[in-house]
Amino acid sequence: MRMTGGRFARRLQRSGSEDGAVIVIVVITMLAIFAVVAVVLDIGASLVVKRQVVAAADSAALAAAQSCATGKGLGDAAAQADAYATDNRPGVQGSITSADCVTGSGSVSTAYSSNVAYNVAPIAGLGSNGNVGAKATAIWGPARQVEGAVPIMLDSTWLKDNCHLPEAPVGTQCAFWYDNSNTTSGSQNNWGFMNLDQWDVAAGYNCSNAGASNRGDWITQGYPGFLAINYPEPTYVCSDSGHASGNWEKDLGSVVGQIRSFPLTDPSQQIPAYPSAADKYDVIGWTDLKIVQVLKGNDPAAIGSTTTGTCSGDWTPLPVKNATKRLDSMSCFPSTYTTIGTPTLTGMLKNKKQTFVEGTDYRYDPATRTLTWLDDKPKSLTISFDWTFTSGGACPDHASNPNAVCLVTQWMGTRIGGQEPCDQQASCPDFGLPAVRLSE
């Protein structure tokens, strides 16, 4: 059968039309695929940048919180936040958005963002760049739990005067006295040792002894695990009996120069009540101190060396009624002294040698060490009193005791440590060992 030229031409026309349609479809499909690939690639790039910006905001908040918790102030907190944010994402933009920058407890929030350059999307007619951001909040407060604690308690009432933590100046020496007296003020029952394996026990728990070997390991290496407090609820910890001088001299002596975490206790809540020997301590917080010296209780470096003497001198010019004299003005004893005894006044009055009577002939104020003469002008008047001067002792308020220990430490300032901060300042006592974490 012969095909005419017209019909063949029409077939060729239809074939060309169909081929053009296929090409259009292929081009459209390829463009769509290209757009999807562009979106996928650039979304992937955005996700990478997003992770970096999240890390920047998180690390910035944590760094700022550490600055605030250690008392370095908002300026340092902002600088630290920016530095850590930039380390995680160079060129990131942002800052601290809010902060309660005080020691104790608080929070700080940050917000950072960064541009994302799209490499494929512009070819598909999409935008050439985008922006991703992230926010974070970090909180701080006294640590609830600490790893590597030593089994030696510190009575929280000892942290007073010049060793009032955490307000004491950095470098302040803090010395603590341990003996086995139940009645001496400032002593520590049962030598202050704790059985850290019996932590957070019930009030009626039957405590047992951990032994000198375990105590030694905990002193030299720290307790192997976290120990947490329940404050304001009690955290009862068993005391550990026995002096074990090796734990003090050998074990604690081997870590001189190192910093250790000490549990702080509330003596009013110990079981049984102070001044009875403690069966259980109530731990209320933590502090970090540098071990400086471990001294025996009869070491002059612990209790100091004492010099005694008697001062005797004339009151000149002779006093008239209501005249005053400070004992400190007399030159017959050292200008630095520890104690002055009650003075005795003798002399001649109305042609009679006598010892004068306090309250009748004179008045003495021990607070100012001032004498006030109350009688007629004497013909002679001599003042006598005993004095002592104690120097060089880290624990000078204690009598010599070869079985006691004077632990000398140094406050190195507030340090970040532990985990799980108390969120509110009123919740946990602050002894200068805060913990920091991101807020959920």
Q: Once rounded to an integer, what is the mean pLDDT over residues 288-303?
A: 94
Kindly report the number of other CB atoms within 10 A of residue 218's CB atom. Answer: 25
pLDDT confidence of residue 185: 43
Task: State the pLDDT at residue 286.
Answer: 96
**Percent of the chain scoring above 90 in pLDDT:** 62
pLDDT per residue over 133-150, tens digit each? 999 999 999 999 999 999
The backbone torsions φ and ψ at residue 380, rounded to the nearest 5 degrees and listed phi first, read -160, 150
Residues in the chain: 440
pLDDT at residue 28, as a whole number: 67
pLDDT in tens, 408-438: 999 999 999 988 998 665 578 999 999 999 9
| H or E stretch covering 339 | strand 339-340
DSSP collapsed to 3 states, 240-289: CCCCCHHHHHHHHHHHCCCEEEEEEECHHHCECCCCCCCCEEEEEEEEEE
How does the average pLDDT of the chain come out, rounded? 86
Provide the token pair at 179: 């003996």
- Token pair 């920058």 is at which residue? 101
Confidence of residue 21 (pLDDT cuts 50, 70, 90): low
- Report residue 33: phi and psi, to 5°: -60, -45
pLDDT of residue 1: 45
At 335 the pLDDT is: 79
pLDDT recorded at residue 26: 61
Confidence bin at 354 (pLDDT 50/70/90): very high
Of 18-27, 230-239, 255-264, the poorest mean pLDDT is in: 18-27
Would you say residue 105 has pLDDT above 70? yes
Rounded to whole angstroms, the maximal C-alpha distance in the chain is 173
Residues 6+ apart with CB under 8 A from 140: 65, 66, 68, 69, 105, 106, 107, 421, 434, 435, 436, 437
